[in-house]
């Protein structure tokens, strides 16, 4: 073992996702992943679909004390199936003691979770694969220039929607798609609300079967804001109702936090350059009204 590898292995787990990794300053996805890893611990194998977090691992090193497997964007759940099957075979044959079993974790961005990898994910849930799926959702293909993805919000400007009206569609409801499969657990989190996040990871860790942790990941480079504002923007996403904190378990959806009073959505939108066209050179009241009405309708249905 080289001295460099030995020094990495001797570091506490909370230091391994540190400043040595080539990630963007203020990355909301990394903020959430730090906290998630602290709860999960080191007996993990991360199956990472191509995306921003692929940059964490620079061969032959990874920032985790557990295991790491890289896959193409569309097939991380299929890779997780192979890993979980291999572990189960080793456990059954008593070649692996139970205390050395690993938690099988899929780690993807929204491009894989909402789009390219959705088919293989659905199949894995149908097979009742025992895995935890973590999606860091920065609402675009962040690793390749913030092109629009199925998670891009209405009216946001991206590298592929640069016009005055931004992205014409609406963000896909991945929470609802997973819940329709009736998995063991689904939850939304954000790094800016660490207590809520930790409780949900502890709950997910205690369960078996398909589980999704969907983390909104404020992205300074893709959303165009100062990295120092990442946490406050995350909190505003919750206070404005843009990002509901909720979970699905035992066939029911529970909202863990109902913002009251809700902040106007434009307070959240004004913090990000991707929505600047809604305020300058002229204020676009029609589009701002559409966005607010969409959020109001969501919470009206929740509060019935």
The ranges assigned to domains in the chain are 3-302
105/135 Cα distance (integer angstroms):
11
Helix pair 230-239, 28-40: axis angle to 10 deg: 80
Model confidence over 14-45: pLDDT tens digits? 434 443 456 789 999 999 999 999 999 999 99
pLDDT at position 22: 64
Share of the chain above pLDDT 90, in %: 87
pLDDT at position 58: 79
Report the topology of domain 3-302.
Rossmann fold (3.40.50)
Model confidence over 57-93: pLDDT tens digits? 877 888 888 899 999 999 999 999 999 999 999 999 9
Model confidence over 231-290: pLDDT tens digits? 999 999 999 999 999 999 999 999 999 999 999 999 999 999 999 999 999 999 999 999
pLDDT band at 200 (very low <50, low <70, confident <90, very high): very high
């Amino acid at each position: 073992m080289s001295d460099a590898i030995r020094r990495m292995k001797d570091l506490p787990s909370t230091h391994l996702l540190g400043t040595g990794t080539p990630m963007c300053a203020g990355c909301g996805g990394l903020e959430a992943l730090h906290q998630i890893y602290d709860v999960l611990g080191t007996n993990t194998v991360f199956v990472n679909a191509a995306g921003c977090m692929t940059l964490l691992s620079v061969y032959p090193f990874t920032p985790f004390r557990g295991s790491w497997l890289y896959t193409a964007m569309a097939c991380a759940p299929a890779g997780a199936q192979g890993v979980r099957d291999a572990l189960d075979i080793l456990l059954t044959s008593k070649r692996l003691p139970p205390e050395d079993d690993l938690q099988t974790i899929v780690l993807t961005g929204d491009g894989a979770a909402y789009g390219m990898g959705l088919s293989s994910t659905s199949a894995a849930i149908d097979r009742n694969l025992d895995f935890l799926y973590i999606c860091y959702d920065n609402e675009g293909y962040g690793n390749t220039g913030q092109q629009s993805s199925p998670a891009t919000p209405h009216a946001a400007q991206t590298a592929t929607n640069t016009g005055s009206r931004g992205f014409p569609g609406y963000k896909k409801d991945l929470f609802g798609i997973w819940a329709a499969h009736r998995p063991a657990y689904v939850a939304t989190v954000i790094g800016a609300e660490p207590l809520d996040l930790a409780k949900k990871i502890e709950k997910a860790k205690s369960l078996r079967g398909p589980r999704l942790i969907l983390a909104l990941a404020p992205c300074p480079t893709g959303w165009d804001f100062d990295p120092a504002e990442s946490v406050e923007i995350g909190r505003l996403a919750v206070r404005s109702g843009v990002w509901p904190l909720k979970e699905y378990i035992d066939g029911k959806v529970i909202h863990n936090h109902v913002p009251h009073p809700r902040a106007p959505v434009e307070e959240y939108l004004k913090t990000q350059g991707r929505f600047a066209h809604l305020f300058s050179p002229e204020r676009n009241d029609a589009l701002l009204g559409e966005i607010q009405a969409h959020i109001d309708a969501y919470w009206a249905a929740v509060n019935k």
